[in-house]
Chains A and B, each alone.
Chain A
Amino acid sequence: MNLIPTIGIEMHCEMKSNSKVFSTSANTYSKHSNNHVSALDIALPGTLPVVNLECVKKAILMSSILNCEIPEMLYFDRKNYYYPDLPKGYQITQSHAPIGINGKIEIPYKESTLKIAIHDIHLEEDTAKIEHLMEESLINYNRAGVPLLELVTEPVFHSKEEVLAFLEYIRKIYQYTDISDADVKRGQVRCDVNISVALENEPLGTKVEIKGVNSFSNILLVIDAEIARQKELIENGKKEEIKQETRRFDESLGTTVRMRSKIDAIDYKYFVEPNIPKIKLDKTMIEQIKNSIIELPLSRMNRYKELGLSKEDIMILTKERNISDYFDECLKLGRDAKKISNWITGIILSYIKKEDVSILDISLTPKELNLLLTSLEEGTISNKQAKEIASIVLNEHKSVSECLEKENNQISDDKLLDEIVQNIIAENPTQVEAYHNGRTNLFNFFVGAVMKETKGQANPVLTKEIIAKYLNKEEE
C-alpha cells in the first residue's frame, strides 16, 4: 500500500511590540511572575480592550508577505471557553474576518522551492501561563494578552522535512521583519499539527489534530509518531479506528494520545467582539506597509547563488537579516562577492560569536571593511596586514584609516628593510649560528635589533618576513 500523509500546520507566534495587543502593560520577557499585568490582563470587571495599532500594522505586514487578501474592515471575535489560563473566559481573536486569507508563499526546499498555500493568518491574544507544581498550580498573567499571530496553512505538506522547511523559513521571515523574535526556546512559537493518511490518488483521510507542540524537534517526532500510528491502523484494516479528534504528544510515551473526540469538541460560540468597533482599514496605510516589505530571504538566497556563492556561504549569510544586510551593503560599495563573503564568514562572524555582539554594533562597518579591502586590492597592504588591521579595528575599536596611517608611517620599503636586516645579520654572526643550532627564540633578537635601528618604525610584518627569509636561506 502506498500511503500518503497529508499535513496542515497552525503556527502561533508571539509578536514583538511595546505593549500587549489590547492593554497597555509591557510586552516583554520577565524573570518575575505577574509584574506586567494590567486590570484588563486579569479581566477585572469593567475593563475594555483597546487595539494596539503597532500590532495591527505588523499583522498587515505579515499578511502582505504571505500574499493574503486583506479585509476592508478590521474587527475581532470572541472565542468563548473556560480555562484557568484565560482570565476573561474568552479569547479575543479573528474568526470572521482574519487579517489575511487565501495566501501563498514560496519557500526554499532542498535544491529548489515549494509553494505553500495559506488558509489564513489572524491576530489574537495569548493566554496566561500555568505552572503545575506537586501540590498546586500557579498562574502567571505576564503572558496574558501578549499579541499572537496564528498562521494556518492548507493541508499541503507530505513529509516532515517539508513542514520543517516551512516553519524555519516562516520563523526567519518573522525575525527578518522584526515582527517577532520567534524564539522557540522561550516558547514564542507553538504549533498545532493536522495529519491524515490516505492511499495515493484517494481523497484525504480522516484528519487528526495534535495540539500544543512547542519545539521544532517535537514536531518532527509528532509527525513520525502520528503517521506511523495511522498507517499501522490502515494496514491492519482498522481504518475506521482513526477518528476525527484532538490528540496531544506524550513525550515519555513517544506517541500521541487522545484529548477529546469530535463529539466532545468545544463549541467556542464565536461572535463579534462588541467593545471594538469595526475599523475601516485605510488603503494608503496598507499600500505603505506593502511598500515597506524588505527583500525576503528566498530572494536574497537566489541573488547570492547567482553571484556564485557556495550553498554553505549562502546559508550563513542569510541566516540573519543583519548579516545579509551587511553583506549587501558591502556589495553596493563595489567589492567582490566571494571576497566579502570570505571576510564575513571568517574573521567577522567568529568575532561576533566570540563576543556575542550584533553585526550592527561592530566597529568594522561595511564602509570600514570597504576601505580596508580597497587598500588590499591596491596592494598597499598585504593580506596578512589586512587581517591584522581588521582584528585591531574589531577588538580595539580603532578606525581602519587610523590603522592604515600607522602602517604608512612605518618603514615598509622592502629594499631599505632588506638592507638593514642584511647589516644586522652580518654584524651578529654568533647569534646567527646559535639560531641555526636550534635557539630559534633568537628570532626575536633580530626583530628587536631592526626595531632599535629604525627607532621602532620598521613594519613588523615585513621585518619578520625578511628576517625569516635570510635566516632560513642561510640554513639551506
Chain B
Amino acid sequence: MKSIILDAQKKEKNALLEECKKNILENQAQCNSCVTIIEDATTKKETSSLLSNIPYVLKDNFSTKGIETTASSNTLKNYIPPYDATVYDRLNQTGAILLAKTVMDEFGMGGTGTTGHTGTVKNPWNLECIAGGSSAGSAAAVASGAVPFAIGSDTGDSVRKPAAYCGIVGYKPTYGLISRYGLIPFASSLDHVGILTKYVQDAAIVANEIKGIDSHDMTSWDSSQIELPSQLEKDISGKKLFYIKEIVDIENYQNPTEELRIILNQFQEVLKSLQELGAVVESKSISKDLLETLPSVYTCISSAEATSNLSNLTGIIYGPRGEGKTIEEIIVNHRTNGFSPLIKRRLIIGSYVLQKENQEKYFENAQRVRNQIVTIMHSFFKEYDACILPCAASIAPKIANANDEMKQDFAVLENHMVIGNFGGFPSITIPSSIVSNMPIGINLTAEQKEDEKLLNIACKLEEKLNFKGGL
C-alpha cells in the first residue's frame, strides 16, 4: 500500500514544510492553483495524529478564521471570516499545516476550473488542459506533488472529476460523515466535503481525521464505530460489483469519438482486473430515459438551492459594499458586479424553477426523479457491494474548448457521478490508465455508510492497476 502521508512523516518536519512551500509556489506559477498562499506557515507542536505537521491545501470555500475566504468570487473579495469551518478546525487539531487556499469554480458552480476570480487553473499534466472543477486548485496542487493532500468539496462531481482529469484519487464520503459547517454552500442537499490525494490510503487517513458528528451540522452523524483505514487490505474476492450497462455501452452514443472507444475499452480491462482479484462484476440496467434526465435534474435542484443559499450575499454585512442611494441599489450593484455571468445564469434558473407556477413542474419533479434514481441504487446495493463506472467520456479538455455547456452526445457518461450526490453515497475516483498522454479514472460508489468497504475495494483495485502516471 502506498502512502505519501506516511512517507512524509519520515521526513524532518522543517525540511518537509520548506519543500512543500517551494512546491506550492512552483505549482502556483505553473497552474495558478491558489487564491491565497500562507507563506509564513510554520511547523507545529507534534501531535499523535498521522497528519501532524503534514502540509496541505484547502479549497477556498472553507471558512478560515483570519484568512481570506472568497469561494473564488468577487462578491467575497477581501472577506476574512471570524470563524473556522469544522474541517479546518479538526485539521488544526491534528497539527496539519495549511499552506494555501485553492482556486475553484466560483462557489463550486462549474466543472472546468476556469471561472474563479483569480483566473483559470491549469492541469499539471498538460498546461493547455483544464484541471477540471470545481475543486480545480486542490486537484492540481496534489497532482503536481506539491502537497500530500488537499480538501475539496463535491456537489455534482467536483472532487471526483478533477481527480480523474489530474490522475489522482478523489473521495467523497457518505453525506454527513464529514461536517459541512463552514463550507460555503452551493447546494446544501448535494454538497459534500471531499478529499484529494495520490493514493487511497491517504484519502482514508485524512477522512478518518476530519469525520465525525458535529453539533454545528444537524446532517452529520455519529461515525465513531467507523475506522476508515482499517479494512483497506482485506481480500475482495467474492465482492460483487455492478456497472450500469446503458452508461458504458458504446452503442448508446451517437458519433462516438476514438477517445470514447479507448476509454470504454480500458474500462473493460479494469473489470477484468477486478475479476482477477476474485470479485464478481455484473451488468445492471437503468432506463436510458431516466439516465438522460440526470443533468437537468441536477441543474434544477442545485440551482434552486443555490439561489437561496447565495441570497446572503448582499454586500451589507460583508463583501464589497455596492454603490447606490437605496438599499435595493446597493444590493443589486453588489450582486451585478460580483457574480460572473455563469453564476447569474444558475441563479436565474434556480429562481425560475422555484417560482410558484413552476415549482411543481420543475423543482418537485426533479426531486421525484432524484428519489426514483436513489431508490433504484438502494435496490442494487442490496445485492452488490459497489457500482463501478468510468469517470468521464474524455480526457481533460483543452482550456480553449472548456465551457460548462452540456456535451449533449455524451451527457450520460459525463454526468452520472451526480448519482453519488443524489443519494449521499460514498464515491471515489482512482486513476486507472493513460490515454493520449493524459490520465483517466475509474469511479466506485457504494451504499450509504459503507465507506470502509468502498475504500477497501478502491485500495485493492488501485494496487492491481498499479497506475504509474505519477508526475
Contacts and interface: CB of A to CB of B under 8 A. Distances in A.
B70 to A, nearest CB: 10
A137 B180 CA distance: 34
Nearest to B190: A274
B317 A269 contact: no
Given A80-B308, A267-B356, A44 B63 contact: yes
B355 A267 contact: yes
A46 B183 contact: yes
A80 B347 CA distance: 13
Contact of A88 (B180, B312, B327): B312
B449 to A, nearest CB: 15
Contact of B218 (A51, A87, A89): A51
A78 B363 CA distance: 14
A45 B79 CA distance: 10
B281 interface: no
A94 to B, nearest CB: 16
Contacts of A80: 307-308, 311, 354
Contacts of B327: 84, 137
A454 interface: no
Which of the listed residues A45, A49, A78, A87 has the most CB atoms from chain B within 10 Å of its own CB?
Answer: A45
B76 interface: yes
Contacts of B185: 45-46
B304 interface: yes
B183 A269 contact: no
Interface in A39-76: 39, 42-51
B215 interface: yes
Given A87-B317, A267-B355, A274-B188, A50 B215 contact: yes
A318 B313 CA distance: 49
Contacts of A90: 308, 311
B308 A48 contact: no
Interface residues of A, number: 28
A87 B215 CA distance: 22
Contacts of B316: 84, 139
A100 to B, nearest CB: 22
A50 B76 contact: no
B305 interface: yes
A271 B180 contact: no
Contacts of B61: 46
A284 interface: no
B181 A269 contact: no
A51 B351 CA distance: 26
B243 interface: no
B82 A44 contact: yes
Contacts of A109: none
A274 B355 contact: no
Interface string A75-103: 00010101010011110000000000000
Contacts, number: 98
A39 B82 contact: yes
Contacts of B188: 274-275
B314 A44 contact: no
Interface in A251-283: 267, 269, 271, 274-277
B308 A271 contact: yes
Interface in A263-317: 267, 269, 271, 274-277
A44 B311 contact: no
Interface residues of B, number: 45
A140 to B, nearest CB: 13
A82 B71 contact: no
Nearest to B107: A45
Contacts of A51: 218
Contacts of A271: 304-305, 308, 354, 359, 363
Nearest to B180: A48
A89 B311 contact: yes
B218 A78 contact: no
A152 B62 CA distance: 40
A277 B354 contact: no
B184 A46 contact: yes
Contacts of B331: 82
B397 interface: no
A271 B79 CA distance: 29
B221 to A, nearest CB: 9
A476 to B, nearest CB: 85
Interface in B289-313: 304-305, 307-308, 310-313
Contacts of A44: 63, 81-83, 317-318
B307 to A, nearest CB: 8
B216 A274 contact: no
B115 to A, nearest CB: 18
B219 interface: yes
A26 B276 CA distance: 61
Interface in B201-233: 215-219
B189 interface: yes
B95 interface: no
Given A39-B83, A82-B314, A275-B218, A45 B308 contact: no
Interface string A405-448: 00000000000000000000000000000000000000000000
B182 interface: yes
Nearest to A22: B218
Contact of A269 (B62, B318, B354): B354
Contact of A89 (B216, B217, B314): B314
A45 B63 contact: yes
Contacts of B181: 46-48
B266 interface: no
B312 A89 contact: yes
B197 interface: no
A42 B311 CA distance: 12
Contacts of A45: 63, 69, 71, 76, 79, 81, 184-185, 312-313, 318
24 contacts: A39-B82, A39-B83, A43-B317, A44-B81, A45-B63, A45-B69, A45-B184, A45-B318, A46-B183, A47-B182, A48-B180, A48-B181, A48-B217, A50-B216, A50-B218, A84-B316, A267-B356, A269-B308, A269-B355, A271-B363, A274-B305, A275-B188, A275-B217, A277-B219
Interface of A: 39, 42-51, 78, 80, 82, 84, 87-90, 137, 139, 267, 269, 271, 274-277
Given A82-B311, A88-B312, 18 more contacts: A39-B82, A42-B317, A43-B312, A43-B317, A45-B184, A45-B185, A46-B61, A46-B85, A46-B184, A84-B314, A89-B311, A267-B356, A269-B308, A269-B355, A269-B356, A271-B304, A274-B188, A275-B217
Interface of B: 61-63, 69, 71, 76, 79, 81-83, 85, 180-185, 187-189, 215-219, 304-305, 307-308, 310-314, 316-318, 327, 331, 351, 354-356, 359, 363
Ordered nearest first, which 7 A-B pairs have the shortest CB separation? A89-B311, A269-B354, A274-B189, A43-B312, A274-B188, A46-B182, A45-B184
